[in-house]
Structure 1
């Protein structure tokens, strides 16, 4: 039975769990081995059909580990929202159930948050291949470099790809959720790309850390992962969700950075072109979406035109031809 816990702590770690039986023990164990100890782990059971929760339940012998059960499979975005409702920490960290964090990881980040009273700390990642064994030392994940930032700076770094859009790439003040009613988009793919700009938009200060020799340890090429499946087969939902998230991201960034922003306008134009070209085979079957995306492309081109090179202007007309063909082939 779910019940909201009342014990306060410095950090709430939200870990949604769905069919990760091969990895969940390693992920939770890497949390349990942290030198920083003032945390709670909110394990959100998203109703998978393997032995993930059996393995996760073993960790509840440690009172810091708690299980919240969804009534049915809700997906990653909604499971994080559920975890937020039960979070009692001053700060929040979203960790994926198939990844790892080195022993000094939380201590390094929480030290910055507590000493400087930052709203957010963003950190680097270290990729490792599924099946690779990482051997951490006690000094793993120490701060190698640090750059202080404010809202606009962080949004521009997000725009340029200097920082990740992924929700596991930062730890932030829980009050930002409550004060701004921030939630992950229910039922959407690419939920991180939607949530992260909204979060960055409400921070006042923070820093970007490079942790060495390891940052957040992100498992790549995992069998059965959503992103691996996405790379193999494009669907209408993927196209529609990417378009939805792109529009929301652009609106958020435009509100924060203002109109007539060269970097933002060129970025949005390039994103619209890339999205249409990537999903042209899907668009042939969905005329309404073709019309909507064509309108957005025209608006992106009109806004960015004064900043675009001749080559990019030609690209606009080529993408317009692609959309036209999508309509004619129906």
Structure 2
């Protein structure tokens, strides 16, 4: 009998963290799942860890493939998943012991294309997760996407969501191979293709932020370029714009401007704005082209940085040590 959920764990050189991730799945009380480990050409002992788990548990399988990046590993997992639903935890992160049992009724109903929960950024296992008072909501796909644009508890990440597998296969959606920030370039397509979405603000996912090998630890030109490209894609895509009302398009613009400010601030903070002058200039041009009032940006995460940009002192602020 096929499982209802396949947990796809992409694995690349994470021998230090992998066991914790897998064990956090194994302790779940709800058991209607299998685990698919996709070893993406690891050069440490991660392949042996995968093989040991696959040997010890008949519901764990492993695929060893040539290195192709996170998106390729996830796509491989989707094509081999047996579950009705798929879930993509990162191999250096872990989930709360009650995650699956808390969401079991929702998953088992099979009414929803996306089941979204929340996360906590942590530096280690000693960091506790604390959720706000319980909120659950049901949305149509487009309305859930609008919630994402408003920086609600529906995040832009993939690892705090369970997806119906057919959402990918029926709509020809894949994670973009060879790109950083692949979630940014994929989730908008999934939400706008989904019929029904279940969302809760409860935090079940531990997102480790001190892994030195993590994507967020060091900037390079491709990271800036990929992030910028996906923000432009989400904002300018006719697939998106054709489904949003005038008010929602304004919300999308604020989301875009907030993302642009984040990129520009990161260029300044890392002192890479001159090295990557073309990206810096294009981001600034897009910010000037999409001029949003300060009052409209008041609820955006990067509102202060936007104020500094408008005052033409954002770069100066980052030249002063420990401003942020």
Q: TM-score, normalised by structure 2?
A: 0.80
Q: 1:67 aligns to what? A: 62
How far apart in 2 are the matches of 1:30 and 1:286? 41
2:212 to 223, 243, 251: 223
**Structure 1 residue 80: Cα displacement:** 0.7
1:257 to 233, 244, 253: 244
**Structure 1 residue 17: Cα displacement:** 0.6
The alpha-carbon distance between structure 1 residues 50 and 306, as it changes in their structure 2 partners (threshold 3 A), is closer
- SS of aligned partner of 1:180: coil
- SS of aligned partner of 2:94: coil
**Aligned residue-pair number:** 301
**Structure 1 residue 283: Cα displacement:** 4.7
1:279 to 267, 274, 285: 267
The alpha-carbon distance between structure 1 residues 31 and 97, as it changes in their structure 2 partners (threshold 3 A), is same
The alpha-carbon distance between structure 1 residues 266 and 27, as it changes in their structure 2 partners (threshold 3 A), is closer
Q: 1:159 aligns to what? A: 149
1:82 to 51, 76, 87: 76
- SS of aligned partner of 2:31: coil
Are 2:179 and 1:192 aligned? no
Residue deviations 1:113-150 (CA, integer Å, cap 9, x gap) = 3226111110012343325387x9xxx99x94421222
Larger radius of gyration: 1
- SS of aligned partner of 2:230: helix
Q: 2:232 aligns to what? A: 247
- Two-structure CA RMSD over aligned residues (Å): 3.2
Q: 1:172 aligns to what? A: 163
2:118 to 108, 124, 133: 124
How far apart in 2 are the matches of 1:175 and 1:80? 14
Q: TM-score, normalised by structure 1?
A: 0.79
- SS of aligned partner of 1:192: coil
- SS of aligned partner of 1:246: helix
The alpha-carbon distance between structure 1 residues 257 and 23, as it changes in their structure 2 partners (threshold 3 A), is same
How far apart in 2 are the matches of 1:98 and 1:286? 30
Q: 1:3 aligns to what? A: none
The alpha-carbon distance between structure 1 residues 27 and 271, as it changes in their structure 2 partners (threshold 3 A), is closer
Segments of structure 1 that go 5 or more residues without pairing to the other structure are: 1-6, 323-330
**Structure 1 residue 43: Cα displacement:** 0.4
Are 2:193 and 1:205 aligned? no
How far apart in 1 are the matches of 2:307 and 2:11? 46
The alpha-carbon distance between structure 1 residues 19 and 293, as it changes in their structure 2 partners (threshold 3 A), is same
**Structure 1 residue 286: Cα displacement:** 5.0
**Structure 1 residue 21: Cα displacement:** 0.8
Segments of structure 2 that go 5 or more residues without pairing to the other structure are: 298-303, 317-324
How far apart in 1 are the matches of 2:314 and 2:21? 46
The alpha-carbon distance between structure 1 residues 127 and 298, as it changes in their structure 2 partners (threshold 3 A), is closer
8 Å Cα contact 2:308/2:314 also seen in 1 = no
The alpha-carbon distance between structure 1 residues 313 and 51, as it changes in their structure 2 partners (threshold 3 A), is closer
- SS of aligned partner of 1:12: strand
8 Å Cα contact 1:44/1:70 also seen in 2 = yes
8 Å Cα contact 2:47/2:64 also seen in 1 = no
**Structure 1 residue 272: Cα displacement:** 2.6
The alpha-carbon distance between structure 1 residues 277 and 99, as it changes in their structure 2 partners (threshold 3 A), is closer
